[in-house]
């Protein structure tokens, strides 16, 4: 976000606050922003906080709504449609950081366990060990109907998603004959108070069932609880004690697990970090480019705010005496 705004000196960041990835907290933060900064022109946020932020704007219903970004979640898209009934000119963007990267990571782990060689020319990231997965969806007013179609029959909490098929993940491998061994995959998740993680675990179980039905894997060994770094280290120790062949870890800290992950690698366990990129030699990463994900909505917001500034300056040049509606940008982040 800061990198994008560096190119827009007219955009002033008035305040930042944490929404704790929580809809209610995000709504309170946005309400505070609206009260403290009546000339607020825009805001950037993410996750369920985007839902709360838009709910706060709709409840306050100021004469000019601040321009905000959204989240690739069905509840937000449905709220977007509701907002259009109040403000037909309302506009937003919803970029999905999708849970499907984790079951995609499961497919990759199984192929690695079967002895297939990774095509390292297809990898990226800080240490060249990242499978960078394309964004599942970028929804704007131009394709809002497509987003709503993706939400058909889905609950509000559903995040727009995409899970690579077994055939699709073959692009990352140099083909070799697969063995007939049966594998056990462990999962370490230190945060359960999130719709993202709930969907992630459900999809991991669903995709693993395909491999169980084919006789390739056993049931997942899942360590999932709200815990701190020490607790996640214990999760990893538990998985090693159960002799898993691979571990999918959604890390709660980018450095605190390093020694334990290296211990797992030394035991011959394949370790894949999902959603969050780690810079640990030997640990593979599967996820979207999170910087690109954030910059996509940040750039969209900056362009929208810059257009408002140009519009005001055009009006001001007519010497109407009109006061600039441009106040600045608030941020609610996880």
Q: What is the pLDDT of residue 198?
A: 95
Given this model, what pLDDT does residue 330 score?
A: 62
pLDDT tens-digit profile of 119-161?
A: 999 999 989 999 999 999 999 999 999 999 999 999 999 999 9
Q: CB atoms < 10 A from the CB of 261, how many?
A: 23
State mean pLDDT over 64-91. Answer: 97
Q: Give mean pLDDT, residues 238-244.
A: 98
Residue 117 has a pLDDT of 95
> Strands, E, within 119-200: which ranges?
130-132, 138-139, 173-174, 185-189
- Give, in order, the Cα–Cα distances in Å from 229 to each of 102, 260, 266: 20, 11, 21
Mention every residue, 6+ apart, whose C-beta is less than 8 A from residue 231. Answer: 190, 225
For residue 327, the model assigns a pLDDT of 43
Q: Which pLDDT does position 322 carry in this prediction?
A: 44
Work out the pLDDT band at 312, boundaries 50, 70, 90. Answer: confident
Buried b (16+ CB within 10 A) or exposed e, 42-66: bbbbbbbbbbbbbbbbeeeeeeebb
The fold for domain 2-96+290-333 equals Rossmann fold (3.40.50)
**Under a CB-based contact definition with an 8 Å cutoff, are residues 134 and 70 in contact?**
no
Mean pLDDT of the chain: 93
Q: Quick one: average pLDDT of 217-222? A: 98
User: What span, in angstroms and rounded, lies between the C-alpha atoms of 98 and 222?
Assistant: 20
Domains 2-96+290-333 and 101-133+176-287 belong to one CATH topology: yes
Q: What band does 320 get if pLDDT is binned at 50, 70 and 90?
A: very low
Rounded CA-CA distance 162/168 in Å is 12
H/E stretch holding 273: strand 270-274
* pLDDT for 317: 55
- Higher per-residue confidence, 179 vs 92: 92
Q: Is the pTM above the cut of 0.85? A: yes
- CA–CA dist 105, 108 (Å, integer): 5
Q: What are the domain boundaries of the chain?
A: 2-96+290-333, 101-133+176-287
- pLDDT at residue 321 tops 50: no
The 10s digit of each residue's pLDDT in 247-272 is 999 999 999 999 999 999 999 999 99
> From 3.40.50.800, 3.40.640.10, 3.40.50.2300, 3.30.470.10, which CATH number describes the 101-133+176-287 domain?
3.40.50.2300
Segment 60-83 mean pLDDT: 97
């Amino acid at each position: 976000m800061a990198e994008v705004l560096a190119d827009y000196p007219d955009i002033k960041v008035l305040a930042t606050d944490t929404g704790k990835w929580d809809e209610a907290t995000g709504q309170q933060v946005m309400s505070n922003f609206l009260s403290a900064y009546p000339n607020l022109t825009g805001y950037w946020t993410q996750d369920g906080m985007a839902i709360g932020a838009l709910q706060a704007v709709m409840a306050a219903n100021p004469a000019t709504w601040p321009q905000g970004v959204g989240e690739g979640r069905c509840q937000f898209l449905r709220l977007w449609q509701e907002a259009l009934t109040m403000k037909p000119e309302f506009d937003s963007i919803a970029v999905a950081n999708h849970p499907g990267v984790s079951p995609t990571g499961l497919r990759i782990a199984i192929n690695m366990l079967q002895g297939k060689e990774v095509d390292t020319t297809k990898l990226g990231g800080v240490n060249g060990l990242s499978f960078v997965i394309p964004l599942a969806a970028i929804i704007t007013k131009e394709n809002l109907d497509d987003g709503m179609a993706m939400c058909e029959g889905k609950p509000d909490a559903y995040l727009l998603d995409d899970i690579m098929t077994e055939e699709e993940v073959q692009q990352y491998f140099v083909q070799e004959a697969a063995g007939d061994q049966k594998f056990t995959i462990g999962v370490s998740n230190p945060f359960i108070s999130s719709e993202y993680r709930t969907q992630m675990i459900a999809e991991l179980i669903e995709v693993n069932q395909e491999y169980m039905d084919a006789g390739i894997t056993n049931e997942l060994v899942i360590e999932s609880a709200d815990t701190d770094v020490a607790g996640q280290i214990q999760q990893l120790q538990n998985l090693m004690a159960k002799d898993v062949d691979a571990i999918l870890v959604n890390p709660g800290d980018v450095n605190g697990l390093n020694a334990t992950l290296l211990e797992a690698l030394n035991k011959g366990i394949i370790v894949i970090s999902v959603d969050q990129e780690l810079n640990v030699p030997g640990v593979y990463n599967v996820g979207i480019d999170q910087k690109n994900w954030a910059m996509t909505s940040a750039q969209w917001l900056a362009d929208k705010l810059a257009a408002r500034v140009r519009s005001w300056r055009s009006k001001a040049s007519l010497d109407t005496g009109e006061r600039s509606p441009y106040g600045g940008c608030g941020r609610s982040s996880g």
